[in-house]
Structure 1
């Protein structure tokens, strides 16, 4: 029903209000104009005080509900900024972590993976290693890891180039892939090591990276992406062609992202059939707006892609050290990033670990200068600590670059970051923001 407005009437046929003076007689009699308000005569203001102590004070100047005088509460955005700044300071002051040397392996460490109760290592000799955790409820550090044991040789003299884990309704699944002229894949139930299967893919080679999402698997290989839609029901491979060799892969629901050797980042929708004429949708290139100072230099290889959980952003990285975040809602070729994470030292010959924490609040990267750096994903602010014991201090140097960064599964408010030094065979454990490693 239309509202009754003094001095106006509602015309249903014309769907609007009109002055009551222009209404038909029947309408004007039904809605007579309001009587003029009576203005009280002015009175002299009394200057004497109220002698009745029981009388209430004048409430005409009382504060309205929801408003205050002299007090201003912080807004939700301001409180979020304060919380974020406090968290950044706490993470930056993380003390020295727990250092654990790795026993002699068949080769140097080439891949690392972390599950809820099991960890995996792969070496350049093709061997896969694992260890399990023993929980001790009630203690400050609730888990203790058993020694590393060799499981089997995935491919002799072919390095294990990628290890990834994911949670499933039945537990945790781990997939390890080898690099070579003929790709071999190990699929294992992390909660029951005896449940394991091996796949040999003759049409896929030079696998450098992998991404596991639920039961689907992506393999970044030579000249394209190998997509296995369901590891539980089929081993058939769908090839997604790219403009060059793939060094980074990631998936978000039905979307697949691939970073290639020539710096292009391609996006595919697995619901659509890929053809040679239209292999996918180009997301961005690194050769124009966000290139090095020398515009004539070749494009750098895209070696990191990470779509955020809400799907609105894509964090990308390149071998020349550039890290940034793209807005996937306004993507176009040659688009610059909306946030830049400065200070990272890249490498064209050494594999470097890059990851985001489970809440996607911070970005961490191991540099070719043997340092570990962190940034706020939202603002690009660098995590810096004056203390020498913090891993984010400029004075903290590792023996070799960190080839892998992985977060431990769990719901702890203080996330646990695992870092691997491949050259010396050592694993570091950091409880970010905690009082001890």
Structure 2
């Protein structure tokens, strides 16, 4: 059975793959070939009544179920074949519901991650579903999610209010609110000396260096740094929700913009204004793997942990091989030099979507990389996200409003897919990919949240302005709930899993949001 590759379709007669050319930014939306029969434009018309939108969605869903009964799981739309699951998910994503949590302002605009952690209770070991949120004011907050567990008995409870859509013909659907979130104690948070720039889960349990020698779960937390001091990297212990403990792994005399951990939790990489540095999480040893005069604003490990993608302020994206001997933090003299072509003045050329340099320039990078594999977007690269199903593919977002899908094997051919409608000019906005890797989501500077189909590039949803710029996105993955059966059933029956086909957390300066399919 041929593998489903993003950006390509398989022709059984010719027994080969062909690229699927999606909508290029600025092109006519009527040229998109991925519309469902009988549907209108994928971009919602804000002047239309919300009830009409809901009615159209219900009609499409009914037609989809009818086609599944006639054709099985593989159905045909507009002379193309697709799976029922994929099309049904797109219908649900086209009109999601957005909720805002009360009393949750200014807690998740810097970083946001959801964790499933094992904690020790009097009744035995339990699994808790928690949100760890970092703010630009330097605070870290921990909240437990939903109805499962309820390990925080006296903390602040935040309830959700629906903010989009405000009017709908089918009120019953949108009244199914997600569960509350609750902090450990009133006003509980940890205050760091500067803004929180990164929160990442550490893949495996690390030896506890605090004192009791047991094996604990940790999260990686990085601070941006200030005018008087540089950024720092910490490991935060999540095993005791009522008594958060942290240790400082490294402190640098530079700005830390981003970071990522490899899959087995042994190493972390941080992006700074001086380049990229690798940290051994077990020994705390830090070494430079890339030095550049252009800030590293975004990073992503591949699944092997041998390479890390770095997105630079000047628009370059380079893959760094981290399999090397540690270099001196101050000197980094062992790193080879490379000259990478780029331009501060670029334009996009439809339909290829490639960047054409108006003024060709070069910048120097030190590190183990292949210069020919480096590519350059038209502006600073603020977010990178690889596909777990095949990490040869990755999505990149630039500060001038472009989102592209690339294949690391075909980088010089330009992006495989471009995603229309994103709005950005100077903000570090994060991309979010759903667990099935069918949808990509991002907030915009216009206050809208947009969702695209990764494979076709179709804009599925564009919410009305939320009066807030969503800068962080966390699309949680399924927890590892074990016995007892009663508690597992209680969690599955919670509103996050049962009534909502998918859901994601959104963080902004003005609040914490939850978006889900209806």
Change (3 A) 1:374 1:104: closer
Following superposition of structure 1 onto structure 2, how do residues 184-333 of structure 1 map, counting pairs within 5 Å?
184-193=232-241, 194=243, 196-199=245-248, 201-213=250-262, 214-215=264-265, 216-229=267-280, 231=281, 233-243=282-292, 244-252=294-302, 253=304, 254-273=306-325, 278=336, 287=346, 290=353, 295-296=358-359, 299-309=378-388, 310-332=390-412
How far apart, in 2, do the equivalents of 1:402 and 1:72 lie? 40
Whether the 8 Å CA contact 2:313–2:380 is kept in 1: the answer is: yes
Per the alignment, residue 161 of structure 1 pairs with 197
Which runs of no fewer than 5 residues in structure 1 stay unpaired? 1-70, 385-391
Question: 1: CA distance between counterparts of 2:343 and 2:103?
Answer: 39
Q: Deviations over 1:237-268 (max 9, x none)?
A: 12122431110011012110100011111101
3-state SS of paired residue (2:256): coil
- What is the aligned partner in structure 1 of residue 110 from structure 2? 110
Contact 1:115–1:172 under 8 Å retained in 2: no
Is contact 2:109–2:472 with CA below 8 Å preserved after alignment?
A: no
* Number of the residue aligned with 1:404: 472
Q: Aligned partners of 2:382 and 2:200: how far apart in 1?
A: 16
Map 1:340-359 to 2 at 5 A: 340-348=418-426, 350-359=427-436
Q: Distance in 2 between matches of 1:285 and 1:85?
A: 40
Specify which of 370, 373, 379 is matched with residue 456 of structure 2.
Answer: 379
Q: Secondary structure at the match of 1:164?
A: strand
Q: How many angstroms does 1:224 deviate by?
A: 0.8
1:68-98 C-alpha deviation (Å, 9 max, x unpaired) = xxx998968966344422221121122x322
Q: Is 2:199–2:220's contact at 8 Å kept on the other side of the alignment?
A: yes
1:120-178: CA deviation from partner (whole Å, max 9, x where unpaired):
222233222212236349xx9895421374332221xx211212225536775322111
Q: Take 1:362 and 1:284, find their aligned partners in 2: how far apart are those partners?
A: 30
Corresponding residue of 2:7: none
**Distance across 2 between alignment mates of 1:204 and 1:228:** 15
C-alpha spacing 1:293/1:285, structure 2 compared with 1 (3 Å): closer
- What's the TM-score once normalised by structure 1's chain length? 0.68
Distance 1:205 1:257 in 2: 20
Residues 250 and 279 (structure 1 numbering): CA distance in 2 closer, same or farther, change over 3 Å?
A: farther
Return the structure number with greater helix share: 2
TM-score normalised to structure 2 length: 0.58
Number of equivalences? 341
Please tell me the root mean square deviation across aligned C-alpha atoms, in Å: 3.5
Return the match for 2:188 from 140, 146, 150.
150
Asked if the contact 2:354/2:415 (under 8 Å) is kept, the reply is no
Distance 1:296 1:351 in 2: 25
Q: State which drifts further: 338-347 or 119-128.
A: 119-128
For structure 2, list consecutive stretches of 5 or more residues without a partner in the other structure: 1-69, 117-128, 150-175, 206-214, 328-332, 362-377, 480-496
